[in-house]
Amino acid sequence: MARPVRIEYQGAAYHVAARGNDRREIFRDDADRKQFLSTLARAVEEHGLQVHGYCLMPNHYHLLIRTPRGNLSQSIGWLQTTYTIRFNRRHDRRGHLFQGRFKAHLVEAQRYAAELLRHLHLIPVRPHDQTAAVPRERWVALDDYPWSSHRFYDGDKPAPAWLSMEWLELFGGDPDQARKGYREFIQDGFENGTRDIFADLYRGLILGSEAMRNRVLERLEEKPGQDEQKPRHPIRHDRAVGAVTALAAKEDDVRWKAWLRVYHGGERKTDVARSLGYRDGSAITHLLKRFEKCLSGDKALQGKAAALIHSLESSNG
């Protein structure tokens, strides 16, 4: 069965989520959570992500992001691969950390961003029925929860530099008014519950109006069953790509060349395939899939991957 299409274009907004393998923990302690957020901050710097909201739970995470470079798969793939390597080394383990592919819902931000923010921020305190009103006594627990972006929207703490607060404007014209509007919107979830916004998903992929869906599908000339849809002219980060290209050139093993150039340099698989003598991008997809399986069970390979990532981060400041 073909995997779902990844709809990717410059400036697209997404709700992204991933769960631990077999529903196991992906965060064992606060040090893991801090490591994930620092890796996410690096993805903002190196891959140009805009992060508008997040929530970390013991065995899964949620992100609200925008991709100015149209590089969803590459940036989230880098985030999860890099975090997995660091998690495995820290806990002396092997194997995959995340279960399957991450979920990515293309979002019409103006229409759904506010509700998605509320959905994410209420996850730590909401009842099993996600549409039911949150018990009032859980408000303190919400304010005290340190692993979501709620406290930054609420104004309790200043936001880190890597977190975009642009969507706060959805709740009011000036910062004080916006934070008051945000808090009232959250409070409504305690009093009246929330609706199931994911019931509006189109083909399990798009959360937006019919007009938005039509624009996206026309723009991308949708091809069912294809893994990804790329922008025709992706924006490149020349400094990062240059460092990756130089590092890849030193590698004799074609697997490392492809791994570096696709996951860390943001190159298209078709371009990498052509330069490495493969028929098409699908060959690189299969090559990387086999390599990731080897990587997940080999500590020596994981050590090399960690060293390469460190080298790239050092070269990019």
Domains of the chain: 6-229 (3.30.70.1290), 238-315 (no CATH)
- What's the pLDDT at 306? 77
- What's the pLDDT at 224? 46
Tokens matching residue 96: 């995959």
Over residues 81-87, the mean pLDDT reads: 93
- What's the pLDDT at 176? 92
Enumerate the β-bridge partners of residue 16: 63, 104
Residue-averaged pLDDT of the chain: 86
Dump pLDDT digits (tens) for 132-189. 999 999 999 999 999 999 999 999 889 999 999 999 999 998 889 999 999 999 999 9
Sign of CA dihedral 144, 147, 150, 151: positive
Mean pLDDT lowest for which of 72-76, 226-230, 278-282, 312-316?
Answer: 226-230
**CA dist 145 to 93, 165, 193, Å?**
28, 19, 20
**CA dist 303 to 31, 46, 82, 178, 207, Å?**
20, 21, 12, 46, 40
Sign of CA dihedral 203, 207, 213, 215: negative
Instruction: Tell me how far apart the alpha carbons of residues 282 and 278 are, in angstroms, rounded to a whole number.
Output: 9
- What's the pLDDT at 17? 97
User: pLDDT > 90: what percent of the chain?
Assistant: 49
- What's the pLDDT at 232? 36
Instruction: Tell me how far apart the alpha carbons of residues 120 and 55 are, in angstroms, rounded to a whole number.
Output: 6
The H-or-E segment that residue 14 falls in is strand 12-19
User: What is the pTM for the complete model shown?
Assistant: 0.75
Instruction: Tell me how far apart the alpha carbons of residues 56 and 63 are, in angstroms, rounded to a whole number.
Output: 9
Over residues 115-141, the mean pLDDT reads: 92
DSSP line for 145-202: --SBSHHHHTTSSPPPTTB--GGGGGG-SSHHHHHHHHHHHHHHHHHH----GGGG-B
